[in-house]
Structure 1
Amino acid sequence: MLRKIKIKRGVYFVAGAILLFVLIGFVSKKQMDKPFSEVYIDIDYSQGNYFIHENDIRKLINALGNEVLTGSFAGDINLRNIETKIEKHPFVKEAEVFRDLRGNIKAKIKQKKPIARIINNGGFGAYITDAGEVIPLSDNYTARVVLVKIPSSKKYKVSIEEDEQGKGLFEMVSYLEASKFWKAQIAEISMDKRGEMILYPQVTRQYIEFGKAEDIETKFSKLHIFYTKILPEKGWNTYEKVNVKYKDQIVCE
């Protein structure tokens, strides 16, 4: 008797599973057969960057940029191809494209995050992202990030970590990005061909001879002493420069 009950339960379970798969297939086919009507684009602006606008994405999906995919059926639209097109945009970090139950196309876009802007006297300009990627400047928007002047011979194309100086620079701007205090304090960095850096603060008149991107945390700890103990005692306009390059020293002039 118990064996018969178990068999019946097994039959019901299998039948239920088959019915569920049939219903899913039916709904999916019905969704595919629906005429496409609209594209909904959701761009993440939570980080305060506005490099990409909705029309930019529509133009990527449809070269005309007007009636996007109008007249197509949902099943005829290759979502992966749309994702690939969108992710080729230099400011797009990630794209997710999917259909809703009405057959509409929805695209969720995440933007890349710049943490520094690099320029040189040769006319080169670009952003460094939080992943170390080098991306072009934008006509739509200028990010509020630290400005870095690099030698004219330097023109990074794909990654800022293409050489030792670039690796050091990325370590420096990443440190600033992670520190709310120093991110607000440092407005500009000048780096020479050896990787030696000079920092220019937002407010005070002193420039900072920082040296190479070595012992970064220790050097900023010395700078903190300079701002919190030395300047309040000696006066904010007493010194023109401060040097933290040397071990266990703060040289003020």
Structure 2
Amino acid sequence: MKIFNWTNIRLMLMIITVIALFSFTSHRNAIRSIKKTEIIFVGENALFIKPEMVNKLLIEKNSDLKTIHKVDLDLKKLEQSVNKQEMIQEADVFVSVDGVLKAVVKQKTPVGRVFDETGSFYIDCEGNTMPLSDNYTARVPLVSGEITVVKKEKLSEVLRMINEDEFLKKNIIGVQVLPNGSLVMANRNYDFKIDFGRTINIERKFKNYKAFFQKAVSDSTLTKYKRINLKFTKQVVCIK
């Protein structure tokens, strides 16, 4: 019985010690001052937005970070502030154990550039708008016409497929949206127009176009055509 009691006492002492150490460590961590900030870009290189711009978002309301304790930072608000930046798709803001305020940032990916009466802007891979950047200009298809008559998800799907395919990316330089929602595309090296039709059977239409193009190149017949019609998924209709 005595052994059992002594075992219980030792167990209680161990638990108390662990709790005390944890509380002490948590307190020290909470009152730790912020040493510096660090911006980490994931995915593509930091092209459209510079680390300095993100850093400014982190410190604009905390001008003297070195005097601020970790516990006093509102990380949620900081994260929301960074995520509001129009070139950022997603950001994760946190403080490391050694007192570094970090922001892990994923930029938006432009897949098309729009020109209209209001100016010029990018369409990103999710169909949302993205402002132009002073730091870098993306080589993406120029988009014109009645872009509002097409669902943004469908238009971005077309543009995303072009952007992710090396052949299409080099080949397609322009996408015009007609009032009825049909798309007409422009080729980089040839004068013919590509009647893509509505934003349905997108993958199949692009496969048909690639197969036609490769065959026409081998036959040296591309210069003979004025329009390439992809509206029919089982065939490509060419007009001279």
TM range (shorter): 0.7 to 0.9
8 Å Cα contact 1:98/1:105 also seen in 2: yes
| TM-score normalized with structure 1 length | 0.79
Q: Distance in 2 between matches of 1:144 and 1:205?
A: 20
- Specify the SS of the correspondent of 2:91: strand
Q: Distance in 1 between matches of 2:17 and 2:66?
A: 34
2:51 to 35, 42, 54: 54
1:131 to 121, 126, 130: 126
- Deviation of 1:42 after TM superposition, in Å, equals 1.8
- Specify the SS of the correspondent of 1:173: helix
Aligned twin of 2:95: 99
- Specify the SS of the correspondent of 1:237: helix
Number of positions where the alignment pairs a residue of Structure 1 with one of Structure 2: 238
- Deviation of 1:70 after TM superposition, in Å, equals 3.6
8 Å Cα contact 2:126/2:156 also seen in 1: no
The one-letter amino acid paired with 1:137 is: L
Superposition CA RMSD, Å? 3.0
8 Å Cα contact 2:35/2:66 also seen in 1: yes
The one-letter amino acid paired with 1:130 is: C
- CA deviation string 1:65-98 (max 9, x = no partner): 9x55242223322222211211111122222222
Provide closer, same or farther for how the CA distance between residues 139 and 204 of structure 1 changes in structure 2, counting only shifts above 3 A: same
> 1:196-211 counterparts in 2 under 5 A?
196-211=182-197
- Deviation of 1:189 after TM superposition, in Å, equals 0.9
Aligned twin of 1:147: 142
Where in structure 1 do 4 or more consecutive aligned residues deviate above 4 Å? 10-18
- CA deviation string 1:85-128 (max 9, x = no partner): 111111222222222333232222221222222222x1332222
Structure 1 gap segments, 5+ residues each: 157-162
Structure 2 gap segments, 5+ residues each: none
Q: Distance in 2 between matches of 1:114 and 1:20?
A: 51
1:191 to 151, 161, 177: 177
- Deviation of 1:56 after TM superposition, in Å, equals 0.8
- Deviation of 1:130 after TM superposition, in Å, equals 1.9
